Structure formats: C-alpha cells, structure tokens
Amino acid sequence: MTAGAAPPMSLAVGGLAAGYGRGDVLHALTVPALKTGQVTALLGPNGSGKSTLLKALAGLVRARTGSALLGGQDLIRQSFGERARHVVYLPQSLPAAVHLRVFESVLVAAKASGGAASAADPQAIERLLERLGIAHLALHYLDALSGGQKQLVGLAQALVRHPRVLLLDEPLSALDLNYQFHVMRLLKQETREHGLISLIVLHDLNVALQHADQAVMIHGGRLYAAGAPADVITPASLADVYGVQGRVETCSRGLRQVLIDGLDAHPR
C-alpha cells in the first residue's frame, strides 16, 4: 500500500438477509472479514445471491437484518449518500450511454465523488485511461462504443472515485481474453496500491484461481466456503454448488485450473 493510502480496515458481513418484494435471496449470510489490499472473488451459480449481496452492500437493495461493518461503521445503517462516499458499485449491465465523451464521463464521475480534488485532475484521468488501455478512446462518445469498451469506461468511472470498497458485478463479461487478463492484473495492482477492498463477481473459476487473493462461494443465499481460492474451488464444491463433476489440476507452469468432466450424477 502506498504512503498516501487509507489505513487498513476490513469489511465483515454478518447475518445479512436481503431480497426483493417479500422474499429473501440472502439468508443470514455471514462472510469472514474482507481485508484491504486484497481482491476477493465472489463465486456461485446463477441465482445464488451474488448480485444481491453487492447491491445490498451498495445500498441498492434493502437489507432486512444483519450488518456490514467497514472499519467499525455499519454500512447497512448508513444512508445511500453516506455509503456512496466510500463504496462504489459497478453493475453487470451498465445504464444506457449518454452522449458524452469518454474523458468527460470519467471527469464527471470524479467530481461527483466529492473526494479529493486530485480525483478530478485531468492528467490523473489520462493516466488512468492509459493504464486501462483505453486512452485512445478519450475523445470518443460513449454511445458509439462497443459493450466491452463501455465496460472499461465504467471501470474507469469507478476507480477514479478512489473508493474504500469496490464492488464489481461480472466486470469481465463483455471483454475478450486479452482485456480479461489485463483488467484483472490492473484491478489487483490498484487494490494493493490504494488499499481497496475489492469484491468481484466471477463466473470463470480459472480466473479466480489465477488472479484472486481470496474467494467467497455462496449457494442458495448462504455461505458455502471462504478462504484461499485453491481451498474454495475443489471437486467437492464443484459437485455441491455447481452440480458438475470436475477436477482441479496443476498445469506445467504450476497454475491451478478447473477441468469439467460432466454433470454430477447426484446433484445437491
């Protein structure tokens, strides 16, 4: 963590129940403390509650019970405005693009954060766009970009606000293989250098194994496992949570990778 970064803190979710209408998607969900400087992969099948958890932490879904303690302060008890000062959420589907240039949109996000004046420094924004590999798009209009390019601009809008907690819902979904690797490497670097708590929904378990510091796997709105990715992503969890028969093997470069052999004959 750099000298100017925020002091270490953690985010601990306890007994969280949240959902839509009268039904709960998360059921008394408790997650071990997520630490600054670490990228945590949020894993689980479709409908397990991953997006609901991010939205509850961001204040977009009301939590019925439970807490989310950030440095001793309960996010659940804070207003949306208070929470937005240190929590940034990037949804899976971005809003319809407005007719702004990429650079202008990131500048607007920086000014809207209400943080340090340096966030709205044009040169700092240029450097951020360069690190994301989209500096050449600075003067392009948002509504003329591809889905993957818009996703990268959304990431720039999130990072420029210098959040304490970064919540990303499938940030790789519209990116090609080159940008997936590039973005995950950048997120890890930004998380460490600025002392962020980054919680990222991923469906690609191999990306989680290679790039995440920690993993949280949920199933049916409840915690299944949490810890190092290699301890969470196992043949047993593949069968219990995803309903598939699979192996986790080590490749010639010493990296762990998931291989799926078929559907589990006895789904849980």
The stretch 80-106 carries a mean pLDDT of: 87
pLDDT in tens, 207-218: 999 999 999 999
> Which pLDDT score, from 0 to 100, does residue 67 have?
96
Asked if residue 109 has pLDDT above 70, the reply is yes
Q: Cβ of 262: how many Cβ atoms within 10 Å?
A: 8
pLDDT in tens, 120-129: 789 999 999 9
Structure tokens at 13: 């979710």
Q: Cα–Cα distance between 239 and 258 in angstroms, integer?
A: 12
Asked if residue 192 has pLDDT above 60, the reply is yes
The stretch 13-36 carries a mean pLDDT of: 94
Torsions phi, psi of 244, nearest 5?
-130, 155
Asked if residue 151 has pLDDT above 70, the reply is yes
Sign of the dihedral defined by the CA atoms of residues 186, 192, 194, 200, in that order: positive
The stretch 48-53 carries a mean pLDDT of: 97
219 within 8 A of 226, measured Cβ to Cβ: no
How much is the pTM? 0.91
Pairing relation of β-strands 165-169 and 87-90? parallel
* C-alpha triplet 210, 213, 219: angle, nearest 5°: 90
> Which pLDDT score, from 0 to 100, does residue 1 have?
46
Asked if residue 28 has pLDDT above 50, the reply is yes
> Which pLDDT score, from 0 to 100, does residue 227 have?
97
Q: Which residue has the higher pLDDT, 1 or 33?
A: 33
> Which pLDDT score, from 0 to 100, does residue 3 have?
45
Q: Cα–Cα distance between 102 and 62 in angstroms, integer?
A: 32
- Average of per-residue pLDDT values in the chain: 90
Asked if residue 39 has pLDDT above 70, the reply is yes
Asked if residue 96 has pLDDT above 80, the reply is no
Least confident among 30-34, 66-70, 177-181: 177-181
pLDDT in tens, 236-246: 999 999 999 99
Torsion of CA 168, 174, 180, 183, to 10 degrees: -50
Q: What percent of the chain has pLDDT over 90?
A: 72
> Which pLDDT score, from 0 to 100, does residue 111 have?
85
The stretch 125-151 carries a mean pLDDT of: 92
Domains of the chain from N-terminus onward: 9-86+164-224 (3.40.50.300), 94-162 (no CATH)
Q: Cβ of 116: how many Cβ atoms within 10 Å?
A: 12
Instruction: Spell out a b/e string for 32-63, using b for 16 or more CB atoms within 10 Å of the CB, else e.
Output: eebbbbbbbbbbbeeebbbbbbbbbbbbebeb
